[in-house]
């Protein structure tokens, strides 16, 4: 009789059952597409710049070079390569008169949702997702991440900057034009704080980075998916999603701001490989990704990618324990082959 395995995350108090009793193949996870991709006018497409607030950052080509500009209230740049705009319905907003922490009259805790919520439009071409974009375009996107991360994380009231992508409507994307979101929050989120606390404690005890140690183990494991000189991609030991993978820079560095030009290029290559492989293996599945990064010497930034091929249901939501029906080792094996086929 088969006994499933219960695994704990490297750092988090997060357990997942690797439930492989019902044998599945990667093709079992391919879903039929529902609905058409493009409906109505896309506010992120060139020509529709007036449908969005003024850009906080645009990359435009000027005299053969990339210039970094911003829109003003009455003016929108056209001919842009990457465009960063405030979210029309922001979860977090910056207001000068925002107040500090307060207690509700009942003693329940509340804070004003001071912060920022932006969208990075990754390309003027509606369908230019990272699986098909040029390396040069991907480098521009990464540089836009860096520019906005640098600006937002230096605000006094900002405690964390989350850069994430929702791809596909089942992953929460309301628009199909390739875009990434950035949210700057006045609190340090629980998951990142727990990782940081563990990383700090490990650093103090062992005098080295816990993530560097994880990389050294995973590069020799059956969960390794792909690597180049500066990056490594693997299925995490306690993946909470089928086909989940994490991208790490080899060199110890707390945030993406620590990357050198060669690393930026290698990250662009890695992203193209990974998202191309994922798309081809599972017929362009919906997915989310999120950067984890903290400007603290014990932290090591990474990008976590969660394909949405199963549902977190009553058990997961009420306990915080997850069930994953596809093992990370099998996922890595399929993804390894799929990535090898990418150019």
Residue number, 166 or 176, with CB nearest to a second copy = 166
Name 2's Cβ contacts closer than 8 Å, sequence gap at least 6. 20, 21
Select from 91, 201, 206, 340 the one that contacts a second copy (CB under 8 A). Answer: 91
The distance from CA 276 to its chain's CA centroid, rounded to whole angstroms, is: 16
Strand 15-18, strand 65-69: pairing: unpaired
Instruction: Residue 152: name the closest of 257, 79, 302 by CA.
Output: 257
Nearer to a second copy, 319 or 343 (CB): 319
Site track for a second copy across 161-190, x = CB under 8 A: -x-xxx---xxxx-------x-x-xxx-xx
Within residues 109-168, the interface with a second copy by CB under 8 A covers 109-114, 160, 162, 164-166
Contacts of a second copy in 280-299 (CB under 8 A): 288-292
Closest distance to a second copy from the beta carbon of 323 (Å): 5
d(CA 21, CA 23): 6
Question: Which residues, numbered 314-333, are part of the site for a second copy (CB under 8 A)?
Answer: 314-315, 317-321, 323
Site for a second copy, residues 229 to 268, rule: CB under 8 A? 237-238
Q: Judged by CB under 8 A, does residue 8 bind a second copy? A: yes
Number of Cα atoms under 13 Å in the Cβ half of residue 261: 1
Output the smallest distance, CB 290 to a second copy, in A: 2
Size of the site for a second copy (CB under 8 A): 74
User: Shortest Cβ distance from residue 126 to a second copy (Å)?
Assistant: 20
Q: Is 108 in the site for a second copy (CB under 8 A)?
A: yes
284: left (phi over 0), alpha (psi -120 to 50) or beta: left
CB of 291 to a second copy, least distance (A): 7
Quick check: 41 binds a second copy (CB under 8 A)?
Answer: no
Find out whether 174 and 89 touch, Cβ atoms under 8 Å.
no
Name the β-bridge partners of 163: 182
- Which two structure tokens, joined as six digits, stand for 222? 């059956």
Toward a second copy, which CB reaches closer, 58 or 183? 183
Cα 120 to Cα 113: distance, rounded to the nearest angstrom: 21
């Amino acid at each position: 009789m088969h006994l499933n395995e219960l695994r704990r995350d490297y750092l988090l108090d997060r357990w997942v059952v690797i439930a492989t009793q019902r044998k599945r193949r990667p093709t079992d996870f391919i879903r039929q597409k529902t609905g058409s991709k493009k409906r109505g006018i896309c506010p992120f497409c060139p020509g529709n710049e007036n449908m969005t607030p003024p850009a906080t950052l645009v990359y435009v080509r000027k005299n053969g070079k990339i210039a970094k500009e911003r829109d003003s209230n009455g003016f929108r740049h056209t001919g842009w390569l990457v465009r960063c705009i405030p979210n029309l319905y922001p979860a977090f907003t910056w207001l000068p008169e925002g107040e500090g922490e307060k207690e509700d009259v009942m003693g329940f805790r509340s804070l004003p949702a001071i912060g920022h919520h932006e969208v990075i439009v990754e390309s003027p071409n509606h369908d230019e997702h990272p699986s098909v974009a040029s390396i040069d375009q991907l480098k521009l996107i990464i540089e836009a991440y860096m520019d906005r991360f640098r600006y937002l994380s230096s605000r006094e009231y900002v405690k964390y900057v989350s850069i994430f992508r929702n791809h596909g409507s089942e992953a929460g994307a309301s628009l199909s034009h390739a875009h990434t979101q950035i949210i700057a929050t006045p609190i340090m989120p629980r998951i990142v704080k727990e990782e940081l606390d563990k990383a700090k404690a490990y650093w103090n005890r062992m005098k080295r980075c816990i993530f560097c140690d994880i990389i050294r183990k995973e590069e020799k494991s059956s969960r390794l998916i792909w690597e180049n000189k500066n990056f490594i991609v693997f299925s995490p030991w306690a993946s909470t999603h089928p086909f989940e993978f994490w991208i790490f820079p080899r060199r110890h560095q707390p945030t993406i701001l620590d990357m050198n030009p060669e690393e930026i290029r290698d990250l662009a290559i890695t992203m193209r490989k990974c998202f191309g492989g994922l798309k081809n293996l599972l017929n362009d599945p919906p997915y989310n990704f999120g950067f984890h990064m903290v400007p603290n010497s014990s932290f090591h930034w990474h990008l976590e990618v969660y394909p949405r091929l199963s549902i977190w249901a009553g058990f997961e939501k009420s306990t915080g324990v997850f069930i994953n029906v596809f093992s990370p080792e099998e996922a890595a094996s399929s993804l390894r082959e799929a990535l090898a086929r990418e150019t």
